[in-house]
């Protein structure tokens, strides 16, 4: 298999652990192990204390799958397959659903593996471009035109990385209708689900919306446990799950036993876990709103509707965000993620809303802005 480098992950490999402040992380501040274990109930505490470090069930621990299924309406444990992160799920799903001659439509700019793995299967990929001047919204008419008789898989990420876009219910229903009409599978990357900013904005899950809908979830983002590397696919399409399951025998076979138990603890305590994440994100969003209001003549800011990232733009003529971000990391030790890492021009950059050091990082960014943009 030939596959292009994952630009964003290469960028993080270079910088993530070398800078003082990661102002572009997409995950929420990792939950401390001690805090998580304090949330265990009697059953999961006993599972943790008595854990033997053998292989685990390749589909995922039955209790974990049952807990994940409870995030959806009317799914059961057998509608869920556990993976090592969302990344492995994307890799397996694209490989079992796409082939040369097939076609896929994927939202863009976006998480590169959502379209790069599809391309590597030999399938043709059409990028569904989101645009700032449309408020980053899905363009349903465009999507309708992009779907062809060969379209096997439509991929939408919402809340969206990097823009924070969240379709309204009407638009989402139209999207589901397009996929159904085309007879295509609909993968909804919902790794930022549960971080919607307004009550009532949460969309139906892809797996609940249609029998051929597939929800992609993970512990990394809303659940603030990226270090577990636990993700999943949930769908009523058991055939797709069975094929993914067989493919996974060539990637990881099964997940890490400690991670499965910790994920189970986190999901059972999801009200507390999600409340912590939402609190961090809400406070940071307010700070970013204030910053971008003060600097409205230098940056544009389409306020995200959900998730833990946003995609502002540096609007100063003649100043490239790549150069400006390079200066910022050099002088202040603060990392931004320029849009070029998504292959997206236009001077945008990703900011992360999930880290507790955002106030300090933003202060440093402002210092850099005062030095270089005034
Ligand atoms: C939209 C989206 N999907 C999938 C993933 C992969 O998640 P993980 O790294 O936990 O496997 C990410 C991570 O940034 C993401 O932003």
Mean pLDDT of 302-306: 98
Distance CA 86, CA 79 (A): 16
Residue 277's pLDDT band, with cuts at 50, 70 and 90, is: very high
What's the whole-number mean pLDDT along residues 28-36?
98
Query: Does the pLDDT at position 95 exceed 90?
Result: yes
Beta strands in 151-296 (DSSP E): 151-157, 185-189, 213-218, 231-235
361 in ligand 1 pocket by Cβ < 6 Å? no
From the CA of 192, how far away is ligand 1's center (Å)? 9
What single DSSP character describes residue 313? E
Using a pLDDT cut of 70, give the percent of the chain over it.
100
Q: What percent of the chain has pLDDT over 90?
A: 98
Distance 339 CA to ligand 1 centre (A): 17
Name the pLDDT band for 374 (thresholds 50, 70, 90): confident
Distance CA 241, CA 96 (A): 10
User: Does ligand 1 come within 6 angstroms of the Cβ of 231?
Assistant: yes
- Nearest Cα neighbor of 321 from 269, 262, 372 is 372
pLDDT for residue 172 is more than 90: yes
Centre of ligand 1 to C-alpha 117, Å, is 14
Rounded distance between C-alpha atoms, residue 259 and residue 25, angstroms: 22
Does residue 85 line the site of ligand 1, with CB under 6 A? yes
Q: What is the pLDDT of residue 1?
A: 82
Phi first, then psi: what are they for 244, rounded to 5°? Answer: -60, -40
From residue 132, give the alpha-carbon distance in Å to each of 70, 290, 339.
Answer: 35, 20, 12
Looking from the CA of residue 220, the nearest atom of ligand 1 is 10
Average pLDDT value for the chain: 97
DSSP symbol at 174:
H
28 CB near ligand 1 (under 6 Å) = no
332 Cβ inside 6 Å of ligand 1: no
CB neighbour list of residue 310: distance below 8 Å, 6 or more residues apart: 162, 163, 164, 288, 301, 302, 303, 304, 350, 351, 353
* Cβ of 308 less than 6 Å from ligand 1: no
Residue 199 is predicted with a pLDDT of 85
Predicted confidence band of residue 21 (pLDDT cuts 50, 70, 90): very high
**Contact present, 138 and 144 (Cβ < 8 Å):** no
**Report field, pTM of the whole predicted structure over 0.85:** yes
- Which tokens is 269 given? 């305590």
């Amino acid at each position: 298999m030939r596959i292009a480098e994952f630009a964003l992950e290469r960028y993080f490999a270079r910088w993530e652990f070398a800078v003082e402040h990661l102002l572009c992380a997409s995950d929420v501040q990792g939950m401390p192990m001690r805090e998580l274990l304090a949330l265990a109930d009697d059953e999961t505490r006993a599972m943790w204390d008595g854990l033997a470090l053998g292989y685990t069930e390749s589909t995922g621990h039955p209790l974990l799958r049952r807990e994940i299924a409870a995030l959806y309406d009317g799914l059961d444990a057998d509608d869920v397959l556990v993976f090592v992160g969302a990344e492995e799920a994307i890799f397996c799903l694209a490989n079992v659903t796409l082939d040369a001659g097939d076609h896929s439509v994927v939202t863009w700019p976006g998480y590169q593996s959502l379209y790069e793995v599809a391309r590597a299967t030999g399938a043709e990929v059409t990028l569904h471009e989101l645009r700032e001047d449309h408020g980053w919204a899905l363009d349903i008419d465009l999507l309708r035109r992009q779907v062809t008789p060969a379209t096997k898989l439509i991929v939408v990420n919402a809340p969206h990385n990097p823009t924070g876009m969240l379709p309204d219910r009407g638009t989402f229903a139209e999207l589901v209708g397009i996929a159904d009409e085309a007879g295509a599978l609909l993968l909804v990357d919902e790794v930022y689900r549960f971080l919607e900013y307004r009550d009532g904005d949460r969309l139906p899950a892809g797996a609940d919306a249609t029998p051929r809908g597939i929800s992609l979830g993970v512990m990394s983002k809303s659940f603030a446990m990226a270090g577990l590397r636990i993700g999943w696919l949930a769908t009523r399409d058991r055939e797709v799950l069975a094929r993914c399951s067989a493919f996974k025998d060539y990637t990881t076979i099964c997940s890490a036993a400690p991670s499965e138990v910790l994920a189970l603890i986190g999901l059972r305590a999801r009200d507390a876990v999600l409340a912590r994440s939402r609190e961090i994100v809400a406070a940071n969003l307010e700070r970013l709103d204030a910053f971008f209001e003060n600097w409205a003549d230098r940056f544009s800011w389409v306020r995200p509707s959900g998730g833990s990232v946003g995609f502002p733009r540096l609007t100063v003529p003649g100043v490239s965000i790549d150069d400006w971000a390079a200066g910022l990391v050099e002088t202040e030790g603060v990392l931004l993620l320029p849009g070029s890492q998504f292959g997206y021009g236009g001077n945008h950059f990703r900011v992360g809303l999930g880290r507790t050091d955002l106030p300090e990082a933003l202060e440093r960014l402002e210092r850099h802005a005062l030095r270089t943009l005034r």
